[in-house]
Amino acid sequence: MDRLKNIFMRVRDDSDQIIKESQDAENPLAILFRTVLEEQKDTCGKLMDSLQRKEQDFKSFKKEISILYHDDSIADSTFRAWGRALTWQDESAAEHVNDLDLLFQRIKKNLKEAAKELEEQFGPEKIKYAVPELYLPKTQREGGQ
């Protein structure tokens, strides 16, 4: 459980860094992905609290897991739309967008790592409706063992 807690801490910290580094952007897409990242950050905090209490029952934090992965999907696609619009309007902003993109990629990598850890601890049957297939290890996506 400590491993999951550390993963969620990294996701929370990266989400916070993206929020801070994009704070000056007033584009509606930027406001939307920051709002979703705030929820993602809060959800990571709730998950870390649950894991701190050593709750072993997946049902006790299944809802938060679903929210976390759903938020990542929304934030990522919204960020990409904002990044395209921003670099189209101002090519000098491309470096800033690339820096933020690296943080989004790191979040995705951490969430894939968390999915693998959740699968190992709770089994594929318990997590299959909470963790989207995109994040699951390749063997489970292909129906393998």
Q: How far apart are the first and last CA of the chain?
A: 23
Q: Tell me the helix, strand and coil percentages in the chain, rounded to 5.
A: 80, 0, 20
CA distance 28 to 30: 5
Task: Quote the domain boundaries for residue 83.
Answer: 2-141
Angle, CA 28 vertex, CA 22 and CA 31 arms, to 5°: 40
Share of the chain above pLDDT 70, in %: 93
pLDDT band at 31 (very low <50, low <70, confident <90, very high): very high
- For the stretch 98-137, pLDDT in tens is 999 999 999 999 999 999 999 999 999 999 899 999 999 8
Average pLDDT over residues 58-79: 96
Domain count, the chain: 1
